[in-house]
Structure 1
Amino acid sequence: MASTSTVTTLTIFFFFFFIELTVSQQISTVDSECTGRWIHIRTLPSRFNLDLLSTCNHYPHTDDLCPYLANHGLGPKTHTRTRSWYRTDPLLLELIFHRRILEYPCLTPDPNLASAVYLPYYAGIDSLRYLYGSDVNSSADHGSDLLSFLTQDSPEIWSRRSGHDHFLVMARPAWDFSQPLTVDPPIWGTSFLERPEFFNLTALTLESRFWPWQEQAVPYPTSFHPHSLPFLESWIRRVRRSRRTSLMLFAGGGGTSSTPNIRRSIRLECTNVTETEPETSSEKIKTCDFVDCSNGICEHDPIRFMRPMLQSSFCLQPPGDTPTRKATFDGIIAGCIPVFFEDQTAKMQYGWHLPEEEFSEFSVTIAKEDVVFRGVRIADVLMSIPKEEVARMRERVIEMMPRVMYRRHGASMGLMNKKDAVDIAIDGVLQKISSRG
């Protein structure tokens, strides 16, 4: 009997084969709406994508990815009756994006007509064998096979603009792909983005660096993937009517060391506060709630943190091993106003999805140095914000929700009319490529 992972991989393979065959035989009829927006999906050998899914439980030092291949990368449902909530693994964003772009209305089988060329290469998954494998090539070799294919199979597609019109998704922080080619073995990461041949392509990453032109951060996928407009509107109504019984929430791990840092300060402030603060004369709220997500226990279990987020006015988003956090987007989905402690966590990352000029309208920023070294209490800062301003900020967070969610593939037309994270990323890619001339 075939294993569950094998059956899932075969199902995905046959779907992609069928849909790409269909795309290759027809061009969208809405030519006027697609002017300057045509995208060609480059046909890659399966070793660059689907074959990587067939070894989903063979990667050391990482969770078994096989259960999360379900529903084309959205993962299994959180419970049998849900139509919107899944146990999504962020590493499968490459599969999610691949499935979604097949529904893009302006696809063309002719690369000469295309404004952009999408490479369905699962770079983040493929990187696992370079990051963790014992019998592998040097990490500096990550990308060499792809480059060979692009320059040898129909080389005119790659060479016509030297890769300027190509883009791909890399479901890890860009730092994981940015080790210098001359450092081998590297301290951490591969050298994919350090290859000069790839300097021109656009890489959509979960976290970008700040100087390379080719990188652009896109939101981490949350567990919320509605398939119709009524389901989205129903969730928004729940978010709006949710009673916010906690002033602030921290959902995460760390902060247990004796070394001063922002997570330690947050944890100390949350655990040392036992009193409640009055919101009105008749109602009191908890100052701080804490959900311990140490050791990855929250990663595939949104039930652990989503209810507390719904019950909190503010969600604290401190940096960790890297500046960005998936919890930033979980909180937005819950209508929980994000509190940032450095600009690199979101303001300098997600300009397409969270416009920098609007940041003060839906978030609060408190310098981490003020909290860690100058004794500023986070609760004092947040309680000083007038209730009317908090209400306005929450409405702006709710307005941002569709921009950072990844709707389910095959969504109804009503929901498709609301641009989600994929739609905005595609718009950004096309504009970025067009700006290069």
Structure 2
Amino acid sequence: MASTSTVTTLTIFFFVCFIELTVSQQISTVDSECTGRWIHIRTLPSRFNLDLLSTCNHYPLTDDLCPYLANHGLGPKTHTRTRSWYRTDPLLLELIFHRRILEYPCLTPDPNLASAVYLPYYAGIDSLRYLYGSDVNSSADHGSDLLSFLTQDSPEIWSRRSGHDHFLVMARPAWDFSQPLTVDPPIWGTSFLERPEFFNLTALTLESRFWPWQEQAVPYPTSFHPHSLPFLESWIRRVRRSRRTSLMLFAGGGGTSSTPNIRRSIRLECTNVTETEPETSSEKIKTCDFVDCSNGICEHDPIRFMRPMLQSSFCLQPPGDTPTRKATFDGIIAGCIPVFFEDQTAKMQYGWHLPEEEFSEFSVTITKEDVVFRGVRIADVLMSIPKEEVARMRERVIEMMPRVMYRRHGASMGLMNKKDAVDIAIDGVLQKISSRG
């Protein structure tokens, strides 16, 4: 169980921050820069958020989340002296986002002034009790309690636009919340997003489906959370000067079965390559590097994969159980050019943070069918790209870095002026809501 002191400290901090920030916003509600950008944070009973943190190790078949509650969801530091690197669990994005939005400059305590209403509901954590609780077939009930509260406590806030102006963060793929209400027992997941009452709200998920317009994918949190602009600039300089001694890298698991699939093809190509390929007449590089992340050993240990990513020109990003993967964003943080094998992996997912029209400028796409069934060698495709083009693509990846990172809460003003993943997500939400009229 999470320590009582940890949860109590978080509760007190969130309460004090919210009171201080909302009072300050009451003073500045005439600020023209906030016109059309006001956000109201709906006050929810603690059972919908902070109380859920006390059951962070109660559920089977999922990691103990308790150690990663530190630093308001960023997790413990990777080492004592760092101020930018943490052992972050992506499933705590709801907590990270909640803490960060308290610093948003256009908060208002008056929902009537707000263009959007944020629900600080930790849907991903709460979903676990519907999957693994005393009644394991209660997945269809996920969302019932929240809906009852929204329609009974100040119901005019919810009913004025039938939820169209509400949004929340769900720190799991949308597939985990989209079991049909009629499936009993569920194969996996809950039915939160299948409830008609929630069809109008905007859900920020780690991976979206492609047809529901209310879902929008946001980047998986990486372990990099700088607190100041100098720390970010220092990291960017390190990325730029890093010697890329490997052509390509695959950091992941899977691909061990005999069934043809893209991960198997990648493993075979990487493990069977022993030669080196010349980059210049005086320097050679390794064709492929492989970091085995099977059984989740890399999830909270960025040291395992970050150095190899810094030393590789291209990072292979095949789909796994779902089309997207956290390693896509780890690679971008390392300045490693992503190589995709299907559009659903990222191109059709993260339009706010990785603009689809710019995809070819910072990534490479090789159709997985060509690799698995037509004998296309990934290394041959990548080696055919001119060095000047590789350098240009890497620079574009570096430019994308701030867009996909989640800076640390309480960051310096200089860094706050550079939009990160949270800022871009909020901009997208406001535009999405305003477009509905």
In the superposition, the TM-score normalised over structure 1's length comes to 0.97
SS at match of 2:243: coil
- What do the CA deviations read for 1:209-248 (whole angstroms, capped 9, x no partner)? 0000100000000000000000000000000000000000
Shift of 1:137: 6.0
Preserved contact between residue 8 and residue 70 of structure 1 (Cα < 8 Å): no
Preserved contact between residue 2 and residue 56 of structure 2 (Cα < 8 Å): no
Preserved contact between residue 69 and residue 75 of structure 1 (Cα < 8 Å): yes
- What do the CA deviations read for 1:165-219 (whole angstroms, capped 9, x no partner)? 0000000000000011111111111000000000000000000000001000000
Q: 1:21 to 1:363 in 2, by over 3 A?
A: closer
Shift of 1:138: 1.2
Moved more, 11-20 or 398-407: 11-20
Shift of 1:134: 3.8
Mind listing any 5+ residue stretches in structure 1 that lack a counterpart? Answer: none
Q: 1:43 to 1:37 in 2, by over 3 A?
A: same
Distance (whole Å) between structure 2 residues aligned to residue 141 and residue 213 of structure 1:
23
Q: 1:7 to 1:430 in 2, by over 3 A?
A: closer
- What do the CA deviations read for 1:245-304 (whole angstroms, capped 9, x no partner)? 000000000000000000000000000000000000000000000000000000000000
Q: 1:16 to 1:189 in 2, by over 3 A?
A: farther
Preserved contact between residue 5 and residue 67 of structure 1 (Cα < 8 Å): no
Shift of 1:20: 6.4
Shift of 1:29: 5.2
Distance (whole Å) between structure 2 residues aligned to residue 378 and residue 168 of structure 1:
39
Partner residue of 2:124? 124
Shift of 1:55: 1.1
Distance (whole Å) between structure 1 residues aligned to residue 129 and residue 221 of structure 2:
23
SS at match of 1:148: helix
Preserved contact between residue 56 and residue 66 of structure 2 (Cα < 8 Å): yes
- What do the CA deviations read for 1:39-71 (whole angstroms, capped 9, x no partner)? 000000000000000111212211111110010
Q: 1:298 to 1:19 in 2, by over 3 A?
A: farther
Distance (whole Å) between structure 1 residues aligned to residue 278 and residue 253 of structure 2:
28
Shift of 1:30: 6.2
Moved more, 127-136 or 193-202: 127-136
Preserved contact between residue 277 and residue 284 of structure 1 (Cα < 8 Å): yes
Preserved contact between residue 28 and residue 105 of structure 1 (Cα < 8 Å): no
Preserved contact between residue 244 and residue 312 of structure 1 (Cα < 8 Å): yes
Shift of 1:432: 0.2
Shift of 1:130: 1.5
Q: 1:9 to 1:135 in 2, by over 3 A?
A: farther
- What do the CA deviations read for 1:360-406 (whole angstroms, capped 9, x no partner)? 00000000000000000000000000000000000000000000000
Q: Percent identity?
A: 99
Preserved contact between residue 29 and residue 108 of structure 2 (Cα < 8 Å): no
Moved more, 20-29 or 178-187: 20-29
Distance (whole Å) between structure 2 residues aligned to residue 76 and residue 8 of structure 1:
18
Distance (whole Å) between structure 1 residues aligned to residue 230 and residue 21 of structure 2:
32
Distance (whole Å) between structure 2 residues aligned to residue 363 and residue 340 of structure 1:
7
Shift of 1:26: 2.7
- What do the CA deviations read for 1:296-324 (whole angstroms, capped 9, x no partner)? 00000000000000000000000000000
Q: 1:238 to 1:66 in 2, by over 3 A?
A: same
Preserved contact between residue 22 and residue 107 of structure 2 (Cα < 8 Å): no
SS at match of 1:358: helix
Distance (whole Å) between structure 2 residues aligned to residue 20 and residue 52 of structure 1:
24
Q: 1:5 to 1:279 in 2, by over 3 A?
A: farther
Shift of 1:22: 4.4
Q: How many residues align?
A: 437
Moved more, 183-192 or 247-256: 183-192
Shift of 1:18: 5.2
- What do the CA deviations read for 1:344-366 (whole angstroms, capped 9, x no partner)? 00000000000000000000000
Shift of 1:133: 2.7
Distance (whole Å) between structure 2 residues aligned to residue 283 and residue 81 of structure 1:
35
Distance (whole Å) between structure 2 residues aligned to residue 25 and residue 286 of structure 1:
55
Distance (whole Å) between structure 2 residues aligned to residue 256 and residue 2 of structure 1:
36
Preserved contact between residue 137 and residue 186 of structure 2 (Cα < 8 Å): no
Shift of 1:16: 5.5
Q: 1:2 to 1:385 in 2, by over 3 A?
A: closer
Q: 1:73 to 1:211 in 2, by over 3 A?
A: same
Shift of 1:131: 2.1
In the superposition, the TM-score normalised over structure 2's length comes to 0.97
Preserved contact between residue 167 and residue 429 of structure 1 (Cα < 8 Å): yes
CA RMSD of aligned residues (A): 1.7
Shift of 1:135: 3.3
Mind listing any 5+ residue stretches in structure 2 that lack a counterpart? Answer: none
Partner residue of 1:420? 420
Distance (whole Å) between structure 2 residues aligned to residue 222 and residue 135 of structure 1:
34
Partner residue of 1:243? 243
